Amino acid sequence: MIESVAVELQNQSGPDVIIVDDLEVNQVILIQMIESMGYQAAGVGSGEEALALVKEHLPKLFLLDITMPGMSGFELCEILKNEVLTRDIPVIFISATSNLDDKVMGFTLGGADFISKPFALAEVTARVSTHLRSYEMKKENEFYNKKLRLVLNEQMKKLEDEKKNVLYAIAKITEKSANFAESRLSHIKVNARLLAQSLQFSPKFEDQVSNAFIEAIELAAPLHDVGKVMVPHKILTKEGKLEKTEEELLKMHTKVGAEILEEIYEQSGNEFITMAIKIARYHHERWDGNGYPEGLKAEEIPLEARIVNILSSYDTLTGERSYKKAYSPEESIEIMEKDAGTKYDPDIFGIFKRIRKQLVTGS
């Protein structure tokens, strides 16, 4: 907001240089010299007038007389250097003496230079032009640096979006390979946000579920089964009980999915992928510790994985598969309720039940 105000003030027509001197004759001489250089200048007789003028227009340079009635040039400089809008604008002090103490004080307060009285055109031209060019170059560099950062940020966002799209494409291929409905990923995404938002209102979870957590789990949840891309199609679609070796191969999808996402994270460092890694690795862990791949128990299991564990089961139950019919939402809840406290976090499951009618289903 401050930067936008500064740009607006500088874009308004007004003086490039503000001269502050209680003697009008000095103002007139300096204005003529500065305007002969091709710049606009304005003169005021006090620090108070200078501050009032600055509210209307930001100059590129201040020329301040040191000794004035009321506010001195040093006092005015200190005020200017403490204000965000004016602290970077160079200040040149005007002095009738070459007192060393005055110069030390001026530089200490942030002054850029001194001009001696009586004024010599060559000295005024040299010092003023040097600091004006320096200030203009600095502002130009800031403008192009800001523009460059915007371009780079846009490019980085484009790359991140492309990587995200690749991950979602892999996830979709995986779901299709398992004969899951195409809507499954969008269901998981929507429901993850809804359930996380509901947890945010629970005293037990409110400190764990921030707005950033909600945004991240919405993006990360659809990637929970991305590791199934490495599981043979015949295992994913097999009707009936899997053989021991097939079951072990299927379970590997948690580790494989996490490894795929870890490689992406090393390249991009996107925070939502950090959450996706945890979800992919741990969404088959159980509350009672009998899950896989690591046998984590209760709150050892990351919260995001506990959330997706419930939602994935619900979507599977309510959706029709090659090997099963679709259960109604009520039937699905009844089936899942038997596993609350063993397979599922009972507190999350309780909240999940309360918002069930808001959730989208796999059918």
Please state the three-class secondary structure of the chain as a single string.
CHHHHHHHHHHCCCCCEEEECCCHHHHHHHHHHHHHCCCCEEEECCHHHHHHHHCCCCCCEEEEECCCCCCCHHHHHHHHHCCCCCCCCCEEEEECCCCHHHHHHHHHCCCCEEEECCCCHHHHHHHHHHHHHHHHHHHHHHHHHHHHHHHHHHHHHHHHHHHHHHHHHHHHHHHHHCCCCCCHHHHHHHHHHHHHHHHCCCCCCCCCCCHHHHHHHHHHHHHCCHHHHHCCHHHHCCCCCCCHHHHHHHHCHHHHHHHHHHHHHHHHCCHHHHHHHHHHHHCCCCCCCCCCCCCCCHHHCCHHHHHHHHHHHHHHHHCCECCECCCCHHHHHHHHHCCECCCECHHHHHHHHHCHHHCCCCC
Is residue 309 scored above 50 in pLDDT? yes
According to the model, what pLDDT value does residue 358 have? 92
Average pLDDT over residues 340-357: 96
Distance CA 330, CA 356 (A): 9
Average pLDDT over residues 196-211: 94
pLDDT bracket for residue 3 (50, 70, 90)? very low
* Residue 77: other Cβ atoms inside 10 A: 24
Query: Which amino acid belongs to residue 214?
Result: I
According to the model, what pLDDT value does residue 174 have? 62
Cα angle: 202, vertex 213, 334; to 5 degrees: 50
Is residue 9 scored above 50 in pLDDT? no
According to the model, what pLDDT value does residue 171 have? 66
pLDDT bracket for residue 130 (50, 70, 90)? very high
* First-to-final CA distance of the chain: 49
Look at the pTM and tell me if it is higher than 0.85: no
pLDDT bracket for residue 172 (50, 70, 90)? low
Reported as half-sphere exposure (CB side, CA atoms, 13 A), residue 361 has a value of 17
According to the model, what pLDDT value does residue 186 have? 81
Handedness of CA 165, 169, 174, 176 (dihedral sign): positive
Distance CA 167, CA 264 (A): 9
Distance CA 318, CA 334 (A): 12
What does each C-alpha distance from 269 to 22, 87, 218 come to in angstroms? 59, 36, 18
Q: CB under 8 Å to 224, separation ≥6 — which residues?
A: 188, 257, 276, 279, 280, 283, 308, 312
Q: Mean pLDDT: which of 185-199, 321-335, 339-353 is highest?
A: 339-353
Average pLDDT over residues 80-87: 92
Is residue 150 scored above 90 in pLDDT? no
The tens digit of pLDDT for each residue in 243-265 reads 888 889 999 999 998 998 888 77
pLDDT bracket for residue 301 (50, 70, 90)? very high
